[in-house]
Amino acid sequence: MSEIDGMGTERATCVLAPNPSPMTLDGTNTWVVAEPGAEEAVVIDPGPEDDAHLERVVRTVSAQGRRVALVLLTHGHPDHAEGAGRFAELAARAAGRRGGPVPVRALDPRHRLGDEGLAEGDVVTTGGLELRVMETPGHSDDSLTFWLPADRAVLTGDTVLGYGTTVLEGKLGDYLASLDRLRRFAEDMEAATILPGHGPRLDDPIAALDRYIAHRRERLAQVEAAVAAGARTAREVVERVYADVDRSLWPAAEWSVQAQLDYLKERSAGT
Ligand SMILES: [Zn+2]
């Protein structure tokens, strides 16, 4: 835990939420991001609705001599977004802010607080910071990645994790396209680090993305082989392909396999 909590870059600091599980690894990484010398900070993914954690994030920002001016969400899953509304109130109170909670921006309108959305190509400039927004669907349809150019850091949410692999709720075709795009982007921009939604930072972004891409292709080949061998349902594929994986992850694996089966069906229909 200690190597994840407090990690980051010059501008980004991780506050680790106390919600470890097979799905969330060590817990959710809440990111406090601010320009040096700035009074305003941006918080990415406040995390689950856990007051002790949310208050610790507020205290972390206060200890930096800053106030929270904006909350961003990488996606709407509860381990990242559930505490956002409560956090927006706590942060507004700590900042003596009038006019309601701190705004929460997300791709999915259901997770927003305030008028502003968040989408491909947006540039967030709060407190002199520069954060560029990319839509990277696959883990979920509403998944975003943020690029912090000053630190050459990529905040990937659950699109890329610090270790292991992510579960897919969206379409595999979208996810593969997102990984390919991030791979090209990391190379073009000479990205120095990935700051994920769970697990430690990854200081070789291209190697991490190559690993992710290879893993997906390998799993896809395994699913194809399982289907060829007679597996008919997602569950039957999971029993063959994920035999070596903790059973508590099987329901999630079924989602991933379903996404792969859909992808293979679409691909064969398209050719
Ligand atoms: Zn997550």
Cα–Cα distance, 157 to 62 (Å, whole number): 24
**Predicted confidence (pLDDT) at residue 1 exceeds the cutoff of 50:** no
> Bridge-partner residues for 144, per DSSP?
135
**Predicted confidence (pLDDT) at residue 184 exceeds the cutoff of 80:** yes
Ion ligand 1 contact residues with beta carbon within 5 A:
79, 158, 197
pLDDT tens digits, residue range 46-95?
Answer: 999 999 999 999 999 999 999 999 999 999 999 999 999 999 999 999 99
CA–centroid distance, 34 to ligand 1, in Å, is 22
Looking at residue 4, the DSSP 8-state letter turns out to be T
What pLDDT, on the 0 to 100 scale, is given for residue 267?
A: 87
H/E segment holding residue 212: helix 205-228
Task: Determine whether domain 12-203 maps to CATH 3.40.50.2300.
Answer: no
CA–centroid distance, 66 to ligand 1, in Å, is 26
**What is the average pLDDT value for the chain, to the nearest integer?**
95
pLDDT tier for residue 249 given thresholds of 50, 70 and 90: confident
CA–centroid distance, 22 to ligand 1, in Å, is 11
CA–centroid distance, 97 to ligand 1, in Å, is 29
Place of tokens 């990935």: 194
pTM of the model: 0.92
120 or 271: whose pLDDT is higher? 120
CA–centroid distance, 156 to ligand 1, in Å, is 11
Q: Are 213 and 180 in contact (CB under 8 A)?
A: yes
